[in-house]
Amino acid sequence: MLWLFKFLFKSYFNWTGWTVAGEIPPGVKKAVLIGGAHTSNWDLIFSLGTMFNLDRRFRFIIKKEALVFPLKNFLLALGALPIDRRPCAGHNYVEQLAQVFAQDEECFLCIAPEGTRKPVSKWKTGFYHIAQQAGVPIIVCYLDYEKKVAHIGKALSSERSLEETLAEAKLVLQNAKPKIPQNFIAH
């Protein structure tokens, strides 16, 4: 059944005129992909189209509340990792998500550093800590809705400092043309 979903997302992505610029660097089989600017639910649709066009195994974080019938099995099959965002949940997400990389020979974990589709003044930094703990690189990606291009950036070492990583990521993401521009605050 997954092959059908892949076919549908790839077909829709291509039929609507989207293309992919860049690629996952050769030899990289595991990485944290950070995607910006996350302003719309359409970001997931075009991100799935991008990953299926790249023919890679990937996972993405989604709020637990979104996994309801009839979407639950569909989203899990596509690679969704449900997260309980309630403050009282008391989970160590960094450790849990870093363990995802140990389970597969190839895995790309997609994370939106904003953590929401609404405007935020500060990014969440879990993506950095997950990459560090898993020992995998970080790849900065973005969707350009103006030109209908999904950009895949170079791999950044997770051994760099958080400040260096954030500065480089924000430099790349300043080129993003989100679906809802007013929901993205360039930092």
Please state, in angstroms and rounded to a whole number, the distance separating the CA atoms of residues 31 and 79.
Answer: 15
pLDDT of residue 138: 95
Low-confidence ranges of the chain (pLDDT < 70): 85-91, 114-121, 182-187
pLDDT of residue 115: 57
pLDDT of residue 104: 85
pLDDT of residue 40: 83
Cα–Cα distances (Å) from 44 to 26, 111, 119, 158, in that order, read: 24, 11, 17, 25
Q: What are the start-end ranges of the E strands in the chain?
A: 19-21, 30-36, 58-63, 80-83, 107-111, 138-144, 149-156
Burial environment of residue 152 by CB neighbours within 10 A (0 to 12, 13 to 18, 19 or more): buried
pLDDT of residue 58: 85
pLDDT of residue 123: 78
Residue-range domain boundaries for the chain: 2-39+49-183
pLDDT in tens, 12-54: 999 999 999 999 998 999 999 988 777 788 888 888 889 889 9
Of residues 173, 26, 164, 30, the one with CA closest to residue 97: 30
Query: How big is the CA angle at 119 (ends 63 and 177), to the nearest 5 degrees?
Result: 100
Please state, in angstroms and rounded to a whole number, the distance separating the CA atoms of residues 86 and 167.
Answer: 29
pLDDT of residue 128: 92
pLDDT of residue 152: 93
pLDDT of residue 15: 95
Please state, in angstroms and rounded to a whole number, the distance separating the CA atoms of residues 57 and 55.
Answer: 7
